[in-house]
Amino acid sequence: MAQNQPPGRVSCPEAAQYYAKDSINIVTFGASTVEGVNGVGFQTMLKNNFLNCYTGKIVDITNHGIGGQTTKQGLLRIDNAIANRTGFFVVDMGINDALSIVLNKVGSVKETEANMRLLITTSLKQKLVPIICTLQFIDDRNTPSYVAVNNTIRSINTMYRKLAAEYKIYLADVNAIMRRDFSLYQDPFHPNARGYRLISYIIFDAINKAIFDNFLMFVVTQNYPNPASSQTYIDIVLPEADKINLQIYDIMGRLVKTVVNEYLNTGKHTLEINTTTLVSGIYFFKISSDSGQYNSVKKFIVAR
């Protein structure tokens, strides 16, 4: 997992090799955790994670965090934040809702849910990919009233997980990783540099999952080894599930073997071709899909 890497390093996902677009565009939206506190935040770290792994891609991350705001206040500015934007919408917001609910007796978890639903649906209408962040706990060790705030944060996080499943969107589970490790905090509410780095990894992982599910290019590698003796392999990357046909033709264009004729899911697959029944010579493998969207033909050699 990326969060287990040494500081300043991130493990690169396989999706980075097959990303179909030229740029990665991310809107980060929320309150003070998004805005950054005392000169530290996660956006620069997140950008560096992508630049390290997605070679040659343009990475554009905007910061729409305003400290102290609730999800209700966020609704007033979401349209401006996502206007003319493409890509991903990362929303990390709700701690101020919990503080208001418990300390000021204003609002409720139900109201926060209604607000988050509007944030999600508004971003979906813009054709953005939403990433919901669960909320880190606040440090309640020296402030008894904060215990109730954390109980409300638990309720909000349960609701956020439910919304992510309902809308089939992505969850950056900050709370599950940070837990109650207050060495990652600079004050009772906000992460320090180490905490922000961890958050950058969690968001990076969530966006990579979204890329793997939605933004892969169609790739068929040359078989390996080539020339082949008894067997050879082909890697295929599918942007979406489809029925795939892998057939072998001889130099005269005659079909000699059907290797695969089945549905494959999104992602990378390694297909094996048994060549023991093929005489030495030049062959072609043809990959096609039932949808007609994916086709590839490559030459290979059988030699013994």
Q: pLDDT digits over 75-108, tens only? A: 999 999 999 999 999 999 999 999 999 999 999 9
The residue among 214, 244, 259 that closes a domain is: 214
229 in Cβ contact with 274 (< 8 Å): no
Q: How far is CA 115 from CA 26, 66, 174, 290, in A?
A: 21, 16, 20, 42
Under DSSP, is residue 281 helix (H, G, I), strand (E, B) or coil? Answer: strand
- In this structure, the answer to whether residues 22 and 123 fall within a common structural domain is yes
Q: Return the residue matching tokens 């500081």.
A: 7
- In this structure, the answer to whether residues 244 and 161 fall within a common structural domain is no
Which residues span the domain enclosing 173?
A: 2-214
- In what order do the strands lie in the sheet containing 58-65? 58-65, 23-30, 88-92, 129-133, 170-172
- In this structure, the answer to whether residues 194 and 264 fall within a common structural domain is no
Give me the amino acid identity at 128.
L
According to the model, what pLDDT value does residue 15 have? 87
Percent of the chain whose pLDDT exceeds 90: 92
According to the model, what pLDDT value does residue 174 have? 98
According to the model, what pLDDT value does residue 10 have? 72
Taking the C-alpha atoms of residue 133 and residue 191, their distance in angstroms, rounded to an integer, is 14
Q: Which runs of consecutive H residues, i.e. helices, occur in the chain?
A: 32-35, 43-53, 71-75, 78-82, 95-99, 109-125, 145-167, 174-178, 193-214
As a whole number, the mean pLDDT across the chain is: 94
- Total domains in the chain come to 2
- In this structure, the answer to whether residues 41 and 144 fall within a common structural domain is yes
Q: Does residue 49 have a pLDDT over 50?
A: yes
- In this structure, the answer to whether residues 43 and 69 fall within a common structural domain is yes
The residue among 214, 233, 248 that closes a domain is: 214
Under DSSP, is residue 266 helix (H, G, I), strand (E, B) or coil? Answer: coil
pLDDT tens digits, residue range 152-208? 999 999 999 999 999 999 999 999 999 999 999 999 999 999 999 999 999 999 999
- In this structure, the answer to whether residues 99 and 170 fall within a common structural domain is yes
Torsional class of 253: left (φ above 0), alpha (ψ -120 to 50), beta (otherwise)? left
- In this structure, the answer to whether residues 224 and 208 fall within a common structural domain is no
Residue 9, classified by CB atoms within 10 Å of its CB into exposed (0-12), middle (13-18) or buried (19+), is exposed
According to the model, what pLDDT value does residue 9 have? 61
- In this structure, the answer to whether residues 156 and 291 fall within a common structural domain is no
Taking the C-alpha atoms of residue 64 and residue 162, their distance in angstroms, rounded to an integer, is 25
According to the model, what pLDDT value does residue 77 have? 98
Q: What is the DSSP string of 164-196?
A: HHHHT-EEE-HHHHHTT-GGGBSSSSSB-HHHH
According to the model, what pLDDT value does residue 186 have? 97
The domain that holds 295 is classified in CATH as 2.60.40.1930
Taking the C-alpha atoms of residue 251 and residue 246, their distance in angstroms, rounded to an integer, is 16
11 in Cβ contact with 43 (< 8 Å): no
pTM for this predicted structure? 0.86
According to the model, what pLDDT value does residue 4 have? 40
pLDDT tens digits, residue range 136-146? 999 999 999 99
According to the model, what pLDDT value does residue 216 have? 93
According to the model, what pLDDT value does residue 5 have? 42
